[in-house]
Amino acid sequence: MTVSAPSASISAQDKGFFGHPRGLSTLFFTELWERFSFYGMKAILGLYLWTAVSEGGLGVDKALALSVVAIYGTAVYMSGVAGGWLADRVWGGQRSTFYGGVLIMCGHIALALPIGITGVYLGLIFIVFGTGLLKPNISTVVGGLYGRDDTRRDAGFTVFYMAINIGGFVSPLITGALADGVGFHAGFAVAAVGMAAGLIQYRLGRKNLRGSAAVAPNPLHPNEKGRVYGLIGLIAVVIGALGVVSYVLGDVEGVILMISIMSIILPITYFTVMYRSKKTLPEEKPRVLAYIPLFVAAAMFWLIFEQSASVIAEFADSHVDNHVFGWEFPVAWFQSINPIMIIALAPVFAWLWLKLKDRAPSTPRKFAGALVLVGLSFVLMYFASNSAADGKVTPLWLVLMFLIMTCGELMLSPVGLSVTTKLAPKAFASQTMSLWFLAVSAGTGVAAQLVKFYTTSPSAYFFTLGGAAVVLGVALAVAAPAIRKLMAGVE
C-alpha cells in the first residue's frame, strides 16, 4: 500500500541529503529550475510591456503595465486553490507537481513566440494554471518527507527555500542579458528551457520521494465524480463569463479589478468552508482560527514584497543609475539582488533557529518582525524617492532596501510554509498549502489597485505602505500570546 508520508522513524533514519531525506534533493532541484523559469520571465515581463515598440517592447501604458504585472502574480497564486483541490481529491501531490510543470513550460514557449500581446495573454494563462498545480503541491511533498515531530522540518524548508533563490538569482542575469542583447523573446525562450530541465530532474529522482503525497489523501468517491466535475465546469463558465463582462465594462482594468476582488473573497470563503467542514476535527478548529492573523500578516508582507517586479523595477528603470565603470548593465539584474541575499543569509537563519531551539521567537513573533522589516524597506524607499528628484540615484539604495526586505522574508516565508503544514487539518493538507499562497494572491490583488497611485507620488506611496506594515507588525507582536494559545502547542 502506498503511503502519503513517511513515519517518524523512517524519516529520522533518512539523512542522505546533508542530514535531510534524499527526496529533498529531488524537490530542491525541481524547484530550482521551476523558479529559474518563473523569475527569469518575471524579471523582464514589466520591461517588455512598457518598453517602446521601437525598442522591442509592446509600448503599454506604464500604470497599466504595473497593474498587469501585479495581477499576474495574484492569478498565479489564486490558481493554487484549484491545484490543491486536485491534489487532495484526484491526482495527489506528486502527479499534480509534474502536470503543473508541463503547463508552465508551454506558457514560456508562448511568450517566446513573436506574436505580440496575444503571446503574453496566452503564455500567462498557461503559467497561471501550471503554477497553481505545481507551487502548493511541491511544498506539501516536502512536508511529507518528515514525520510530524521531526525537528529538522523548519531547517528542511529553509534549505528548500534556497533552491527558489538560486534559480531566482541566476535567471534574471541570463534573461536580462538576452533581453538587452538579443531581444525579449530570447529571454522568455531560455525560461522555457529551464522548466524543461526541471521536469527531467523530477522524473529521474521521483523514486526518492518514498510515497510522500503520492496519492490523494481525500479522493473523490466514484459516485461523486460526475457531479463534482459538472460543478467544476459550471464554475469555469461563470468565471469566464465574469471575465468577459468585466472586459466589456472596463477593458483590461475591469478584468484586473475583478481578479482583485476575487483575491479577497476567495480566502474568506476558504477559511469559512474549512472551519465549518465536518472533516475538520474539533481539535483542529482552533488551529484554523490561529492561522487567520498569520494569513493577514503574510498578505500585507507580500503586498509590499511582490512589488519588486513592478514598482521597484520601474523605479530602477527610471530613477537608478545602472552604470558601473562606464558600462550599463541590464535593469533586470536588480531582480537578482534579493535571491543572492537569500542564498547568503538562509543558512544563517536556519542555523539560528536550530541553535535557539525552544528559545527562538514564536511563529507569530517571527511574522511580526517580518512585517516591521518589510515596512522599513519601503520607508527607506521614501528617502530614495526624494533623492531621485535631483537626478538618478545610486544603486546602493536598492541594495540596502533588498537587504532589509530579505531579512524579513526569511522570518516569514520558510517559517510560514512550515507552520502551514503543521496547522493544516488532515483532510485539507494540500488545500491549506494553497491557502498559504492565497496570502500572496490577496496581497498582490490589493497591490494591483494601489500601484496606480505610485506614478502620482512615489515618495508618499512608499511611506504610506511602509508605515502601515510597521503598525500591523507591532499589533501582531502584541497579539502573539493569544495566537499561540490557539495554535495548541504547534510551533
Percentage of the chain beyond pLDDT 90 is 31
430-433-439-442 Cα dihedral, nearest 10 degrees: -20
The per-residue pLDDT for 11 is 53
Sign of CA dihedral 458, 462, 464, 465: positive
Which of 5-14, 103-112, 151-160 is least confident? 5-14
Q: Which CATH superfamily is domain 19-219 in?
A: MFS general substrate transporter like domains (1.20.1250.20)
The per-residue pLDDT for 349 is 84
Which amino acid, residue 109? I
85 versus 459: the higher-pLDDT residue is 459
Confidence band of 25 (pLDDT split at 50, 70, 90): confident
8 versus 266: the higher-pLDDT residue is 266
Q: If DSSP codes are grouped into helix, strand and coil, which group holds residue 464? A: helix
CA 405 to chain centre: 15
Asked if residues 57 and 51 have their Cβ atoms less than 8 Å apart, the reply is: yes
Between CA 379 and CA 368 the distance in angstroms is 17
Q: For residues 34-39, give the mean pLDDT.
A: 87
Which of 91-105, 214-228, 331-345, 380-394 is least confident? 214-228
* 383 closest CA partner among 462, 465, 464: 462
Q: Where are the alpha helices (DSSP H) in 182-221?
A: 184-205
Q: What is the pLDDT of residues 342-366, one digit of tens each?
A: 888 888 887 887 888 778 788 889 9
b/e sequence 271-290, b meaning 16+ C-beta within 10 Å: beebbeeeebeeebbebbeb
- 191 by Cβ neighbours in 10 Å (0-12 / 13-18 / 19+) ranks as buried
- Is pLDDT at 128 greater than 60 in this prediction? yes
Query: Which three three-digit cell numbers place residue 268?
Result: 474568506
Distance between start and end Cα atoms, the chain? 31
- Is pLDDT at 2 greater than 60 in this prediction? no
Q: If DSSP codes are grouped into helix, strand and coil, which group holds residue 207? A: helix
255 versus 215: the higher-pLDDT residue is 255
Q: What is the pLDDT of residues 362-386, one digit of tens each?
A: 888 999 999 999 999 999 999 999 9
CA distances from 253 to 122, 229, 248 (A): 18, 31, 10
107 versus 270: the higher-pLDDT residue is 107
- Is pLDDT at 1 greater than 70 in this prediction? no
Q: Could you give the residue range(s) of every CATH 1.20.1250.20 domain in the chain?
A: 19-219, 281-490
The per-residue pLDDT for 18 is 65
Asked if residues 366 and 468 have their Cβ atoms less than 8 Å apart, the reply is: no
Asked if residues 166 and 343 have their Cβ atoms less than 8 Å apart, the reply is: yes
- Is pLDDT at 8 greater than 60 in this prediction? no
Q: If DSSP codes are grouped into helix, strand and coil, which group holds residue 327? A: strand
- Is pLDDT at 7 greater than 60 in this prediction? no
Q: Where are the alpha helices (DSSP H) in 87-182?
A: 92-112, 117-144, 153-181
The per-residue pLDDT for 3 is 42
Average pLDDT, the chain: 85
Asked if residues 43 and 188 have their Cβ atoms less than 8 Å apart, the reply is: no
The per-residue pLDDT for 227 is 81
The per-residue pLDDT for 90 is 83
The per-residue pLDDT for 92 is 85
User: Which residues are paired to 328 by β-bridges?
Assistant: 323
Asked if residues 144 and 4 have their Cβ atoms less than 8 Å apart, the reply is: yes
Q: What is the pLDDT of residues 143-191, one digit of tens each?
A: 788 776 777 777 787 788 778 878 888 999 999 999 988 999 999 999 8
Confidence (pTM): 0.82
CA distances from 274 to 86, 282, 490 (A): 16, 12, 19
Percentage of the chain beyond pLDDT 70 is 95
Q: If DSSP codes are grouped into helix, strand and coil, which group holds residue 17? A: strand
- Is pLDDT at 256 greater than 60 in this prediction? yes
Asked if residues 213 and 4 have their Cβ atoms less than 8 Å apart, the reply is: yes
Residue 109: HSE in the Cβ half-sphere, 13 Å Cα cutoff: 10
Between CA 111 and CA 181 the distance in angstroms is 18
73 versus 155: the higher-pLDDT residue is 73
Q: For residues 241-270, give the mean pLDDT.
A: 87
155 versus 51: the higher-pLDDT residue is 51
Query: Which three three-digit cell numbers place residue 144?
Result: 511529507
Asked if residues 377 and 304 have their Cβ atoms less than 8 Å apart, the reply is: yes
Q: For residues 308-321, give the mean pLDDT.
A: 91
Between CA 75 and CA 52 the distance in angstroms is 26
Query: Which three three-digit cell numbers place residue 405?
Result: 526586505
Confidence band of 9 (pLDDT split at 50, 70, 90): very low
The per-residue pLDDT for 205 is 82
- Is pLDDT at 294 greater than 50 in this prediction? yes
- Is pLDDT at 408 greater than 90 in this prediction? yes
Between CA 7 and CA 18 the distance in angstroms is 20
Between CA 363 and CA 488 the distance in angstroms is 13
Residue 12: HSE in the Cβ half-sphere, 13 Å Cα cutoff: 7
Between CA 196 and CA 385 the distance in angstroms is 40
Q: How many CB atoms lie within 10 A of CB 323?
A: 11
130 versus 227: the higher-pLDDT residue is 130
Q: Identify the CATH assignment for 281-490 out of 3.10.580.10, 1.10.10.10, 1.20.1250.20, 3.40.920.10.
A: 1.20.1250.20
Between CA 157 and CA 164 the distance in angstroms is 11
Largest alpha-carbon pair distance within the chain? 69
